A = this chain, B = another copy of it.
């Protein structure tokens, strides 16, 4: 692949200068278009051999663009806050907002490539990593984050010559350089690195986010090529592309055929034994305390998502969980309307930013499942958005799982009659009145739609590593015991 990059690519200073002024104008125009529309963010991933000019390219782009809408995102060895969370967290944390351009040094590819070239990832593990990358990048693209993946290519001998020069210079006189592959010292090391890089480029070049291999021996040619690529990317990011129809073509879940609701399979009449409830609750809470304060838990994290009908008792159930937790080690996240910083980024960003450190607990009172529940039913998300959300959510949860997090998902189900009784009760009690809004009554009228959405959701996201627990919640006490039991079992397993 990319054999042509090894051919000489040369551009005279005069050619470059003639090209630069119009290129700069067009880049600025395109950048402002992106900045004004705020429909997409652009991430320019600058990878390549040491000595090929990664830092110089960053500086050139700053010169050409309006730097008010540009940021450099640079990743080296992870900090302890980063190590305490899934590997992807640090990239999510810095995600540029729509309308902005991020210049990325040390992207996720760097880490994977390094581990592969050092022999820390075998073929199968490397395949998995690359596969996850492809899916994550596809998700980003669908969510309005355009990736320009650049590999600055330089002939092995030339790269070594420049690297030597850089190293000599780096102490004092010359400009600072981006040296990322310091460990790969011998010719053999570097050959292995180059092979792994070519493999990665081959495997992770997709239609939406292809790699661009840029010959970097001649700085004029290199910069002109990067500028041209960025121009194309900005133009695409600004264009009014409708949501890709590909996802729509996938079977959409039973919108026309009747499908029984999963709730009908539940026996909502079950109740807890009043006599033993107090002791059972206390015993489960003790087990939860033990499990979350044990040494074993320090390398884990617990993420609990609560969903369910309005008035199904989420608050009361969460309270019984919370009481058993160290107040310093949990956060409850009530999911309300997104802030403008959240709206300017991919849907999952607001949940990624709240992924707890290992050893901690995050409870979500409503969760990322809003995408396939309220957003689907109310039409806030387009069909292709909530259709692909099932896969995106599964990927998100698998990533948590693979990083030693336990993901517990609870659906609290009540009957329509029970809900009506609870609404009336809330109207009557002063300190419960705030819990009832006109929206609750409106949602109630869409009972069937929500039940269908819930059934599809459980069908499509009850994965092996993150199964749903459906909880019969007409009896609050029964529900609380079952919720605690579900969490404790997952922690103990």
Contact surface of A with B, Cβ cutoff 8 Å: 21, 24-25, 28, 32, 54-55, 58-59, 62-63, 66-72, 74, 76, 79-81, 103, 105-106, 170, 172-176, 178, 285-286, 289-290, 292-293, 315, 318-319, 322-332, 334, 336, 339-341, 365, 430-431, 434
Contact B430 A25 (CB under 8 A): yes
In the complex, what distance in Å separates the CA atom of A186 from the CA atom of B70?
56
Q: Which residue of B lies closest to A336 (CB)?
A: B68
A275 to chain B, nearest CB (A): 22
Contact B62 A176 (CB under 8 A): no
A70 to chain B, nearest CB (A): 8
Contact B178 A67 (CB under 8 A): no
In the complex, what distance in Å separates the CA atom of A290 from the CA atom of B171?
8
A61 to chain B, nearest CB (A): 10
Q: Given A63-B319, A172-B290, A336-B68, does the pair A105, B328 have CB atoms closer than 8 Å?
A: yes
Q: Which residue of B lies closest to A170 (CB)?
A: B293
Q: Which residue of B lies closest to A21 (CB)?
A: B431
A327 is contacted by which of B79, B81, B105, B340 (Cβ under 8 Å)? B105
A69 is contacted by which of B21, B74, B334 (Cβ under 8 Å)? B334
A168 to chain B, nearest CB (A): 14
Contact A324 B431 (CB under 8 A): no
Q: Given A290-B172, A322-B59, does the pair A431, B28 have CB atoms closer than 8 Å?
A: yes
Q: Which residue of B lies closest to A80 (CB)?
A: B80
Residues of B within 8 A of A332 (CB): 62, 67, 70-71
A328 to chain B, nearest CB (A): 4
Contact B336 A339 (CB under 8 A): no
Residues of B within 8 A of A54 (CB): 327
A74 is contacted by which of B318, B323, B327, B336 (Cβ under 8 Å)? B327
In the complex, what distance in Å separates the CA atom of A108 from the CA atom of B325?
24
In the complex, what distance in Å separates the CA atom of A66 from the CA atom of B315?
9
A328 is contacted by which of B24, B69, B74, B293 (Cβ under 8 Å)? B74
